[in-house]
Chains A and B, each alone.
Chain A
């Protein structure tokens, strides 16, 4: 597939990437390193918490989403990363045995005012489990190099 540049993103475009099985071992290993709370570490202890059973750290879900979009399109693009994330919502627990996928919608795109070599693409991510439940959403502005640099006066 041809490498994706800023010009290749169309507002309204929707794509799905993944699928990624989440195991209880992976949930616990990530949590031991980055989020050592009982609800992410131990089945027994997790049952006594508000979430009622072992579930993945929200940061783990973010990392899994990143891997799915990396394999899905980012590694085959002119991505220059993102300056941040406008919003992350953890809507439902990710349980051991869940298979996740991510739906990516292009919300908007803008040429950079100051840097003719790049543009911004506003993306909405929905992470879904096998049952179709949305477990997480996120909105971010990613930077992509342009195939053709903007000429002075042409950028908005």
Chain B
């Protein structure tokens, strides 16, 4: 990701894809979301989902992984060109998270991110970036979307009274 000032509304990035295997789905669910339709094929077949499907938290966590890896690849490219790399801070939260369709064992989900809001942040030296992340399965159906916020460093640092005299 670029410094806050260099980000543009509507900017879109493909984040890559992930195939959810039955083993993957069950390993996550046994630890964090052991509902029958996430841990047991037979019980899942009898449920309203009709087959084993991933915990929604698993679908979201994989999106997070792909965002971080994309940021790391971009940071590497910046460094290779001798450019500075912005700090990307923590996230204050997510809203409008939707699990549109189940993610079944064997599904490959392609994730993307699009910048929707660029806002002033209370944190000095940072701006707040709100992005819509989406996950689409191999049939082209949207299965996941969310609006996530994150603090991104600015190039130009604010001049605060204390810093001025010391500088």
Contact = CB atoms under 8 A, between A and B. Distances in A.
Interface of A: 33-37, 39, 49-51, 57-60, 62-64, 66-67, 70, 74-75, 79-90, 93
- Residue with the greatest number of chain A CB neighbours at <10 A, chosen from B48, B60, B95, B97: B97
Given A59-B60, A59-B61, A39 B95 contact: no
Nearest to A88: B94
B105 to A, nearest CB: 16
Contact of A34 (B35, B55, B62): B62
Interface stretch (B85-93, B106-114, B131-139): B85-93
B33 A63 contact: yes
A93 B92 CA distance: 10
B13 interface: no
A33 B123 CA distance: 29
Contacts of B65: 33-36
B56 interface: yes
19 contacts: A34-B62, A36-B68, A36-B72, A49-B87, A51-B90, A59-B57, A63-B57, A66-B57, A67-B31, A67-B32, A67-B34, A81-B37, A81-B56, A84-B96, A84-B99, A86-B96, A87-B93, A87-B95, A88-B95
A86 B151 CA distance: 21
Contacts of B87: 49-50
Interface in B56-93: 56-57, 60-62, 64-65, 68-69, 72, 87-93
Interface of B: 28, 31-35, 37, 48-49, 55-57, 60-62, 64-65, 68-69, 72, 87-100, 123, 151
Contacts of A39: 90
Contacts of B88: 37
Contacts, number: 95
B38 to A, nearest CB: 9
A86 B34 CA distance: 22
B68 A70 contact: no
Nearest to A68: B32
Given A51-B90, A64-B32, A35 B61 contact: yes
B68 A75 contact: no
Contact of B33 (A70, A83, A84): A70
Contact of A37 (B60, B68, B100): B68
B94 A85 contact: yes
